[in-house]
C-alpha cells in the first residue's frame, strides 16, 4: 500500500502489543490516536483535556495518569469488559470520551478498531462486525438505525455506551427493541468521563443512574450532585445538576440548576419541560429540533419560551402551543414560540443555546 492509499485509509486496527511495532499512520486523524498512545506507553504522568464548552466556556484541564487509569478500570468492571475486548473507537480522540477509549484499550488490553468520528460510523465498516463494545453520541446511534444499510448491524455492536447529549424520545423507542444492552452515561471532563450509568433497555429502562464502583456521591444545599473518587484524585467535584437520590448508589437526574427559571414565583426546570415537549412532538410526529428558554417579562420576571429550528413542516406558533397545552401543565407550557433559521452548535455538535438565543433576538430586533 503506497502513501496516498494510506492517507485515505478508513480503518486503523491496533492494540497494546501491536502499536509497539506499528509505524505512525499517514492519516492525520489516526496520527492523533497513535501519538496519544505512544505518550501513554512512555509513562507520561499528566495530560491536558479539552472541555466541550456545552455548559460553559471551553477550557483546558490537567488530569493525572492515575485518574485516567482509575476511570478505565471502573468502566471495565461495571460493564464486564476485560482482556481481549473488541472495541470500536468512533468518538473524537481530541476530547475526553475518545481519549478514554484509547486509555481503556491500553489499560485493559483491548483490540481497538479506530475510525474518524462521523455521523454514521457503520457505513465505513462494511466488512467488520462482531464488536464487544462501542461508545457513541446519540446522533451516531440514530444515524445507524435510520440508514437501511446499517440498521441491522447495530445488534452486532455488543454493549453500547451513549453520552455527550440527551437521548431523544424517538431514539429511546428504538433502543427498547434492540437485542443488545444500551447504557446512558453521566459524567464530564472534570470527572474523566462517566461516573454513573443508566441502563436504557435489556430488558427495560432503569430510569435512575447507578454510580460506578468506587465513586462517592452526595448533594449540596441546592440539591445538586457532587462526586468524588479515584478518578477525581478523591477531590469533590461539585456539579450544577439537580438530582433525587434514590438509594445509596442510584439517583434520578432532574436537570441543571442553571436551566431553572423563576416565572411569577414558580420554579420551572427547563430540562424537564424539554422532555415533556419532546414526548408531545413524538406523538404528533413533529421532527423539529427545539429547546426551551426564557425572556424577561415585566409581570412574570422570566417568561418561558420555546425555540424551534425551522423545517419544511412550516409549523405555526398557534398549532404548536395548542398541542403542548393539551398534554402539559399551564406552568410548563411556553408563552411564546420563536423560530430560528439554524441552531448554533459547539465543536462537539451540541446546541449552544445561549448563543442561538442571542443571535435569534439580535435578528428579530434588527
Report the largest interatomic distance among the alpha carbons of the chain, rounded to a whole angstrom: 70
> CA–CA separation, 105 vs 108, rounded Å?
6
DSSP sequence for 69-100:
HHHHHHHHHHHT--TT-EEEE-S-TTBHHHHH
- Residue 315 has a pLDDT of 83
> CA–CA separation, 194 vs 191, rounded Å?
7
- pLDDT tens, position by position, 230-273: 999 999 999 999 999 999 999 999 999 999 999 999 999 999 99
Q: Which domain holds residue 290?
A: 264-364
Residue 288 sits in the same domain as residue 252: no
**pLDDT of 4 over the 60 cut:** no
Helix, strand, or coil (residue 226): strand
What's the domain count of the chain?
2
Q: Model-level pTM? A: 0.88
Residue 7: pLDDT band (50, 70, 90) is very low
- pLDDT tens, position by position, 22-50: 999 999 999 999 999 999 999 999 999 88
What is the pLDDT of the chain when averaged over all its residues?
92
Domain boundary among 256, 287, 307: 256
**pLDDT of 71 over the 70 cut:** yes
- Report the pLDDT averaged over residues 90-107: 96
Q: Distances from the Cα of 1 to the Cαs of 5, 14, 15, in angstroms?
A: 6, 18, 21
Domain boundary among 222, 256, 290: 256
- Residue 58 has a pLDDT of 73
* 204 burial via Cβ count (<10 Å: 0-12, 13-18, 19+): exposed
> CA–CA separation, 332 vs 42, rounded Å?
54
- Residue 366 has a pLDDT of 63
Domain boundary among 200, 232, 256: 256
**Are the C-beta atoms of residues 334 and 321 closer than 8 Å to each other?**
yes
Residue 6: pLDDT band (50, 70, 90) is very low
Residue 52: pLDDT band (50, 70, 90) is low
Distance of CA 323 to the CA centre of its chain: 29
C-alpha closest to that of 246 among 198, 184, 202: 198
**pLDDT of 53 over the 70 cut:** no
Across-strand partners of 250? 210, 247
- Report the pLDDT averaged over residues 315-325: 93
Measured over the CA atoms of residue 156, residue 157, residue 158 and residue 162, the dihedral's sign is negative
Helix, strand, or coil (residue 170): helix
- Residue 2 has a pLDDT of 46
CA angle 75, 42, 71 (to 5 degrees): 15
> CA–CA separation, 121 vs 77, rounded Å?
26
Helix, strand, or coil (residue 38): helix
Residue 272 sits in the same domain as residue 154: no
**pLDDT of 5 over the 90 cut:** no
Residue 208 sits in the same domain as residue 353: no
User: Residue 22 has what DSSP assignment?
Assistant: P
Residue 45 sits in the same domain as residue 150: yes
- Report the pLDDT averaged over residues 120-139: 90
- Report the pLDDT averaged over residues 66-91: 96
Across-strand partners of 95? 50
Distance of CA 266 to the CA centre of its chain: 30
- Residue 21 has a pLDDT of 95
- pLDDT tens, position by position, 162-181: 998 889 999 999 999 999 99
In this structure, what CATH number is given to the domain that contains residue 315? Answer: 3.30.300.30
For residue 84, count other CB atoms closer than 10 A to its CB.
11
Residue 30 sits in the same domain as residue 150: yes
Strand order across the beta sheet in which 182-188 lies: 12-14, 111-114, 86-89, 133-136, 159-162, 182-188, 193-199, 209-211, 250-256, 237-247, 224-228, 216-219
- Residue 148 has a pLDDT of 95
- Residue 3 has a pLDDT of 42
The rounded percent of the chain whose pLDDT value lies above 90 is: 84
Residue 246 sits in the same domain as residue 288: no
Helices (H) and strands (E) in the chain, counts: 9, 19
Residue 341 sits in the same domain as residue 286: yes
Residue 245 sits in the same domain as residue 295: no
The rounded percent of the chain whose pLDDT value lies above 70 is: 96
In this structure, what CATH number is given to the domain that contains residue 197? Answer: 3.40.50.12780
Residue 219 sits in the same domain as residue 291: no
Amino acid at each position: 500500500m503506497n502513501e496516498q492509499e494510506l492517507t485515505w485509509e478508513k480503518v486503523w486496527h491496533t492494540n497494546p502489543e501491536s502499536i509497539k511495532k506499528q509505524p505512525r499512520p499517514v492519516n492525520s486523524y489516526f496520527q492523533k490516536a497513535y501519538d496519544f498512545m505512544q505518550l501513554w506507553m512512555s509513562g507520561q504522568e499528566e495530560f491536558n483535556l479539552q472541555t466541550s464548552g456545552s455548559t460553559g466556556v471551553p477550557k483546558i484541564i490537567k488530569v493525572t495518569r492515575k485518574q485516567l487509569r482509575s476511570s478505565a478500570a471502573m468502566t471495565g468492571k461495571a460493564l464486564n469488559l476485560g482482556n481481549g475486548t473488541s472495541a470500536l473507537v468512533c468518538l473524537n480522540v481530541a476530547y475526553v470520551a475518545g481519549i478514554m477509549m484509547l486509555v481503556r484499550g491500553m489499560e485493559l488490553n483491548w483490540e481497538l478498531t479506530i475510525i474518524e468520528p462521523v455521523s454514521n460510523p457503520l457505513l465505513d465498516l462494511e466488512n467488520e462486525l462482531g464488536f464487544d463494545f462501542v461508545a457513541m453520541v446519540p446522533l451516531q446511534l440514530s444515524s445507524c438505525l435510520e440508514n437501511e444499510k446499517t440498521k441491522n448491524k447495530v445488534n452486532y455492536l455488543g454493549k453500547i455506551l451513549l453520552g455527550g447529549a440527551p437521548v431523544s424520545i424517538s431514539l429511546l423507542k428504538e433502543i427498547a427493541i434492540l437485542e443488545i444492552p444500551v447504557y446512558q452515561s453521566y459524567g464530564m471532563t472534570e470527572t474523566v468521563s462517566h461516573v454513573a450509568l443508566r441502563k436504557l433497555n435489556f430488558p427495560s429502562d432503569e430510569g435512575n443512574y447507578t454510580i460506578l464502583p468506587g465513586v462517592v456521591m452526595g448533594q449540596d444545599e441546592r440539591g445538586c450532585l457532587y462526586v468524588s473518587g479515584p478518578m477525581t484524585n478523591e477531590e469533590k467535584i461539585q456539579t450544577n445538576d439537580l438530582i433525587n437520590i434514590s438509594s445509596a448508589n442510584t439517583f434520578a437526574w432532574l436537570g441543571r440548576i442553571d436551566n431553572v427559571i423563576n416565572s411569577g414565583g414558580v420554579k420551572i426546570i427547563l430540562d424537564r419541560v424539554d422532555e415533556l415537549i419532546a414526548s408531545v412532538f413524538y406523538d404528533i410526529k413533529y421532527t423539529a429540533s427545539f429547546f426551551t428558554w426564557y425572556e424577561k417579562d415585566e409581570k412574570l420576571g422570566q417568561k418561558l419560551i420555546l425555540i424551534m429550528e425551522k423545517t419544511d413542516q412550516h409549523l405555526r406558533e398557534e398549532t404548536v402551543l395548542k398541542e403542548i397545552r393539551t398534554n402539559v401543565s399551564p406552568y410548563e407550557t411556553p408563552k411564546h414560540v420563536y423560530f430560528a433559521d439554524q441552531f448554533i452548535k459547539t465543536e462537539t455538535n451540541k446546541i449552544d443555546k445561549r448563543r442561538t438565543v442571542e443571535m435569534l433576538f439580535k435578528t428579530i430586533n434588527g
